[in-house]
Amino acid sequence: MDEKETNLPATTKKKTLKNNEDDRKWFSFPNSPASNTVISVVSHVGDLETFGKRLEHNSHSTQIDFFDPPEGSKNLSQRVKYSTDNTETTIHLDNIDLFTKANKPLKKILTYTLVQLSKENVTENPENDISIKFPLEDFVTLGCYKTIRTARQAFNQAQHPLTSIKIEGVVKDKKDQKQITDSGIEVLFPGAHIKNGIVEIYLNKRINWQLFALQYFSILPKEYFSLSDNAADTLLNIVMLARKRLNDIGKNGSFNMSFKTLQQILDLPDETITKNPGRDIKEPILNAIAEISKMLNGDIVVEPIYNANGNIIEFLEDGYAKVSLYNEYLEHFGELAKTKRIKIEGAMKKREEIADRAKVKALANKLEKESKSKK
């Protein structure tokens, strides 16, 4: 049904609705640790344990813990605790089967929901229930679906899992830690529906949206929505990773992503198990890379670097994708790199000044003691 609703709150935020008229090549996209965690968990719901093992191997600062569902539980639920140096986020998925079946449309609908969230002026904990609204036609305009009918079918399929994602967690800084939710486990999006061609997704007012998603931002090419699943997943992770590779971008205008990481991102089989690693691992990685470079038309160029005569082990261990940024993308991340460098240089200068003052004070104290001892 077009107007199917799930636990809809009474009050929503009013806003003027427009089709996607932005002439920029990209969307602003939340790139905060907690929101990235939700995307990662939802994207790899089919085999979270394998994803977790690979992630911990490829990123030593990340730890994933899994909790078994309650004994006798009818639905195969999953609770995943995702920890990094500064965040600790626990995602609750009550029915893995639902997420698995709807995974294909859910990933892009969740991503577009976060894109729309970045446009909202959401306070830390809004007093009233608020919602995100956008035309269903956006999915057609962006090339995600060919018709309004197929877009509606996809949204209806993704609606139940989208509105059942639960979260809790903390974000740590130098002085203290802040809770993402007011009172433990909370549903991210309490309700969603389509009415008169307008999608409306409700935001839980007991979630600190600034902390959850709106701390940091990246930019997501609009082509993401028209790419195949593998290419889209690769591109999304490229823009997430770009903020962490600002030093490389500032120096070279590019950064590298290992094929091992791409194997993890694309949920490709283990190289020691598959009988046809060329077809099952190598081809999906190379095809995703080629599709991105073709669709981005020179703005982002992804070049595979590997030994064409090597085996699959060498391909994964030594091979990598060189991601080169141009035009608006290089300008955006180049400015971020410059800002980061200035902050680092400022902090280093401040530390040096403090150290110099400490040396001067120590020398003055020493001279004073020597002067007193001579008297």
How far, in Å, CA of 198 to CA of 136, rounded?
6
- In this structure, are 116 and 85 located in the same domain? yes
Number of structural domains found in the chain: 2
* pLDDT score, position 162: 92
Are 109 and 155 in contact by the 8 Å Cβ rule? The answer is: yes
Q: What is the pLDDT, as a whole number, of residue 354? A: 65
- Domain co-membership, 132 together with 171: yes
Residue 327 counted as domain residue: yes
Say yes or no to pLDDT of 349 above 90: no
- Residues 137-154 have pLDDT tens digits of 999 999 999 999 999 999
Cα–Cα distance for residue pair 123/214, rounded to 1 Å? 10
Tell me how far apart the alpha carbons of residues 250 and 331 are, in angstroms, rounded to a whole number. 10
The mean-pLDDT minimum among 38-47, 262-271, 284-293, 366-375 falls in 366-375
pLDDT band of 40, cuts 50, 70, 90? confident
Work out the mean pLDDT of the chain and round it to a whole number: 81
My answer on whether 283 and 187 are in the same domain is no
Distance CA 165, CA 224 (A): 23
Q: Are 202 and 126 in contact (CB under 8 A)?
A: no
Confidence check: pLDDT of 58 > 70: no
Inside any domain, residue 20:
no
Both 270 and 309 in one domain: the answer is yes
Let me know: does 110 contact 195? Beta carbons within 8 Å.
no
Domain annotation covers residue 75: yes
Return the CATH number at 293. Answer: 1.10.10
* Paired sense of beta strands 320-325 and 254-258, if any: antiparallel
- pLDDT tens string 181-191: 877 888 899 99
The more confident residue out of 366 and 74 is 366
pLDDT digits (tens, 9 = 90+) for 271-306: 999 999 999 999 999 999 999 999 998 899 999 999
In a domain, 319, yes or no: yes
Residue 336 lies in a domain: yes
336, two tokens: 């971020």
Q: Are residues 306 and 317 in the same domain?
A: yes
Residues 40 and 83 in one domain: yes
Together in a domain, 270 and 196: no
Angstrom distance (rounded) from CA 305 to CA 256: 10
Q: Same structural domain for residues 153 and 246?
A: no
Instruction: For residue range 305-322, list pLDDT tens digits in order.
Output: 999 999 999 999 999 999
- Asked which of 202, 220, 238 is the last residue of a domain, the reply is 220
- What pLDDT sits at residue 8? 38
pLDDT computed for residue 65 by the predictor: 67
The number of CA neighbours under 13 Å toward the Cβ of 207 is 26
SS3 of 56-109: the string is: HHHCCCCEEEEECCCCCCCCCCEEEEEECCCEEEEEEECCHHHHHHCHHHHHHH
Residue 368 lies in a domain: no
| CB 96 within 8 Å of CB 45 | yes
Q: At 346, is the pLDDT very low, low, confident or very high (cuts 50, 70, 90)?
A: low
Match 């791409």 to its residue by tokens.
Answer: 262
100, 76 in Cβ contact below 8 A? no
Q: Is residue 11 scored above 60 in pLDDT?
A: no
pLDDT at 95: 73
Same domain, 192 and 51: yes
d(CA 193, CA 136): 10
Residues 273 and 163 in one domain: no
pLDDT confidence tier of residue 20, bands split at 50, 70 and 90: very low
Looking at 220, 239, 254, the residue that finishes a domain is 220
Directed axis angle between helix 229-242 and helix 103-117, to 10°? 40
Residue 298 backbone zone (phi > 0: left; psi -120 to 50: alpha; other: beta): left
- For residue 93, give the 3-state DSSP assignment: strand
Domain end position, chosen among 204, 220, 236? 220
- Tell whether 165 and 192 lie within a shared domain: yes
Cβ atoms of 61 and 54 within 8 Å: the answer is no
Question: Coil, strand or helix: which one is 271?
Answer: coil
- Radius of gyration over alpha carbons of the chain, in Å? 24
Residue 65 and residue 186 share a domain: yes
At residue 223, the pLDDT reads 95
Q: Which of 93-97, 299-303, 342-346 is the least confident region?
A: 342-346
Residue ranges making up the domain that contains 264? 223-363
| Number of alpha carbons in the 13 Å side-chain half-sphere of residue 257 | 26
The answer to whether residue 14 is domain-embedded is no
Among residues 230, 209, 225, the alpha carbon closest in space to that of 286 is found at 230
Distance separating alpha carbons of residues 169 and 35, to the nearest angstrom: 11
